[in-house]
Amino acid sequence: MSQEIGVVGSPDFTTGFRLAGVRRFADVRDDDPDEQFDEAVREMLDDDDVGILVMHDDDLERLSRGVRSDVETSVEPVLVTLGGGAGSSGLREQIKRAIGIDLMEED
């Protein structure tokens, strides 16, 4: 069974992924209640077919404490955040969490 990519975010954020063929997405507008964002993320976390959850780094701030904790500690699906500045979690750490080893570790 192949794992799918799930994307949650504003329509502007998800459009590129949809054009690239991502079929699992949730559009949550910036003016929608944060509870709606929580619900969209929770649905992705509970979807057994989603192996990677993609969100914009800034959208992590919209999540309630419980959902944010769940998404940040989730192994499957693994969270990948895009955008953001120094506060964004590095791709290296995300890969390490997803597969359990540091591929970029030097001997």
Q: What is the pLDDT along the chain (107 residues), one digit of tens a residue?
A: 568 999 999 999 999 889 888 999 999 998 999 999 999 999 999 999 999 999 998 899 899 999 999 998 888 999 888 876 544 456 566 666 665 666 556 65
**Four-CA torsion 38, 44, 47, 48, nearest 10 degrees:** -130
- Closest among 7, 14, 9 to 61, alpha carbons compared: 9
Helix residue ranges per DSSP H, the chain = 11-19, 34-46, 65-73, 91-99
Q: What is the pLDDT of residue 88?
A: 41
CB 79 within 8 A of CB 71: yes
Mind listing the domains of the chain with CATH numbers?
Answer: 4-99 (3.40.50.10580)
- Closest among 13, 20, 69 to 45, alpha carbons compared: 69
Q: What is the pLDDT of residue 87?
A: 45
Q: What is the pLDDT of residue 75?
A: 86
